[in-house]
């Protein structure tokens, strides 16, 4: 029994840190769920959701849960997500079937905040678990990889999907990279590629919840809701790689003391 309780304490600590890190995303899912069954007067549902997510972001900043520096990575991902949404909706990959005043090329403005929530998670989990990065690839390799990943999200719409090549590049670049994280007083380490996949899998589950509450719908969900295609796990895994690279590279470039206390980027390969 002596070994059971320390294990339980570590699992509980891991769960609480994860829960704090997904706060932004969890609140968005809560808003999607409530707004589906509770109609508010004056504005359409998508418009109320935009006001709601903006208030969440302001709240997180005012309470110091997120800082202005954190917001840089979150905003970058927000813009990238909005561009991708407009393109995908334009070519029918998915749709937002409900009406709304604050729509841009058929995309409700609240939708980009769901990408921001992913950026918020990465920023927060690094702090919560005191993540250290070991054997980080050189920035120009990562720039090329992320560019190819982002481009593939556009080309695959037209049948040019080269993600198998991307998997090979990811394994080549990250085969030595490790993420070290702290649970209670114990430090653990795992492969970066495993971390990418697990976060991608988690986002896939969240995506199913979002589509169930009509946040958006894929073409095969328009008549009746069904589980999102399992292939989306790989898409989210690729997208999370871009997110993590943005966050880590911003930390490396800025090297601000306020973050050095909580985020330690170790063994970055020098140019």
Confidence grade of residue 213 (pLDDT, cut at 50, 70, 90): confident
**pLDDT of amino acid 146:** 94
Q: Is the pLDDT of residue 4 over 60?
A: no
**pLDDT of amino acid 147:** 94
CA distance 269 to 271: 7
Q: Is the pLDDT of residue 262 over 60?
A: no
**pLDDT of amino acid 53:** 92
Q: 10 Å Cβ neighbour count for 67?
A: 15
Rounded to two decimals, the pTM is: 0.82
CA distance 270 to 136: 9
**pLDDT of amino acid 154:** 92
36: enclosing H helix or E strand: helix 23-37
**pLDDT of amino acid 172:** 92
Short-list 193, 199, 167, CA closest to 179: 193
């Amino acid at each position: 029994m002596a070994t059971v309780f320390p294990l339980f304490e570590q699992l509980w600590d891991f769960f609480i840190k994860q829960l704090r890190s997904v706060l932004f995303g969890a609140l968005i899912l809560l808003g999607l769920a409530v707004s589906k069954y509770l109609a508010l007067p004056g504005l359409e549902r998508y418009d109320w959701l935009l006001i709601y997510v903006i208030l969440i972001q302001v709240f997180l900043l005012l309470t110091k849960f997120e800082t202005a520096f954190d917001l840089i990575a979150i905003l970058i991902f927000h813009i990238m997500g909005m561009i991708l949404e407009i393109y995908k909706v334009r070519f029918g990959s998915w749709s937002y079937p409900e009406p709304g005043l604050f729509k841009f090329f058929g995309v409700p403005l609240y939708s980009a905040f769901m990408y921001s929530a992913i950026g918020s998670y990465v920023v927060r989990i690094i702090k919560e678990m005191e993540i250290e990065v070991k054997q980080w690839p050189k920035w120009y390799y990562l720039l090329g990889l992320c560019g190819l990943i982002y481009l593939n999200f556009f080309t695959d719409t037209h049948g040019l999907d080269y993600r198998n090549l991307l998997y090979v590049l990811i394994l080549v670049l990250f085969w030595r990279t490790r993420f070290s994280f702290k649970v209670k007083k114990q430090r653990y380490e795992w492969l970066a590629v495993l971390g990418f996949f697990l976060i991608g899998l988690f986002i896939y589950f969240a995506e199913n919840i979002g589509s169930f509450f009509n946040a958006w719908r894929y073409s095969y969900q328009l008549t009746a809701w069904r589980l999102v295609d399992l292939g989306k796990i790989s898409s989210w895994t690729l997208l999370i790689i871009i997110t993590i690279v943005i966050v880590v590279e911003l930390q490396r470039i800025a090297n601000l003391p306020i973050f050095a206390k909580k985020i330690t980027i170790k063994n970055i390969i020098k140019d």
